[in-house]
Amino acid sequence: MRMESKLINMGKQQNFKVGELMPGLSVDNVIFGFHDNQLKVLLLECMNHRDWMLPGGFVLKSESTDAAAERVLYDRTGLNNVYLQQFHVFGDPSRSRDSLMSSAMKSMELPFETDNWFKQRFVTIGYYALVEFEKVVPVPDSISASCAWHDTDKLPRLIFDHKDIIANALTSMRHHLNYQPIGYNLLPKEFTMKNLQSIYETILNRKLDRSNFTRKMLAAGILDKKEKLFAGGAHKAPYLYSFKKKEYLKVLKDGFNNEF
């Protein structure tokens, strides 16, 4: 069978001929959600039910790498128009060495044939996405047993260099906090300042001064203050906030300039 006629399954219902794909190029998405004051990452369970991997895919010759990452994100979560940021290119030749590829393909229960498309050297472009946890219905692809959330500080065994990719995504996101606001895609429509601060503290892995954090966030002009929550005593009820979408997107584009 000619290589160009072989079909590569790229998702729930998508099959593409090898000739339609960019050789040696892939995208890997680190999809973050926030639930119960814990940062989560969405992972795919390998067919051997022991190893896990990041949602990823190949790049069509007819699409940009951003479009490929958006397609993967939509296939796994059902969401589009969410925050998706390219953060690093992973191109070390050692990530495609035979021993690593053989182990990963066994985990996915793929045949390790000489001319297998998966066996070539791949350079992957890393993207991280921020999504609202409650809106995601995880969907596995055809070469995965399941798709589920995991705590970022309690990761299961991962194939390839996916543990390093997640660590790199977290580091990049921490750097971005100083000039890009985060929270719009992670929180529900209305939230407390404590909820927002909890996200920043989780990402930064350290405590922040409450009054200082509140002052900085309000000074940014991206929050709309709502009525108080009527839970418990009135004097203890925290205010609810929502993001001003127009102002938030402007700050996202122009820069945040806040040190945390």
List pLDDT tens digits, range 51-67.
999 999 999 999 999 99
| CA 230 vs CA 56, 226, 236: distances in Å | 44, 12, 9
CA gap 167, 187 in Å, rounded: 22
List pLDDT tens digits, range 27-56.
999 999 999 889 999 999 999 999 999 999
Write down the residue that tokens 């309690």 correspond to. Answer: 154
* Nearest C-alpha neighbor of 194 from the set 149, 141, 157, 240: 240
3-176 belongs to which CATH class?
Answer: alpha beta
**Mean pLDDT across 93-105:** 89
Write down the residue that tokens 């108080």 correspond to. Answer: 228
Provide the pLDDT for residue 4.
Answer: 39
CA gap 195, 260 in Å, rounded: 16
Provide the pLDDT for residue 231.
Answer: 60
Provide the pLDDT for residue 168.
Answer: 97
Provide the pLDDT for residue 257.
Answer: 76
Structural contact between residues 32 and 131, judged by C-beta atoms closer than 8 angstroms: yes
Question: Is residue 5's pLDDT more than 70?
Answer: no
Structural contact between residues 120 and 98, judged by C-beta atoms closer than 8 angstroms: no
Structural contact between residues 191 and 240, judged by C-beta atoms closer than 8 angstroms: yes
List pLDDT tens digits, range 181-202.
888 989 999 999 999 999 999 9
3-176 and 191-254 have identical folds: no
Check: CATH 1.10.10.10 for 191-254?
yes
Provide the pLDDT for residue 258.
Answer: 75
* Predicted confidence band of residue 2 (pLDDT cuts 50, 70, 90): very low
Q: What is the mean pLDDT of the chain?
A: 88
List pLDDT tens digits, range 234-246.
556 788 999 999 9
How many CB atoms lie under 10 A from the CB of residue 12?
A: 11
- 193-204 vs 210-219: helix axis angle to the nearest 10? 110
Sign of the dihedral defined by the CA atoms of residues 144, 166, 37, 178, in that order = negative
- Domain range annotation of the chain: 3-176, 191-254
Q: What is the pTM of this model?
A: 0.87
**Mean pLDDT across 161-189:** 91
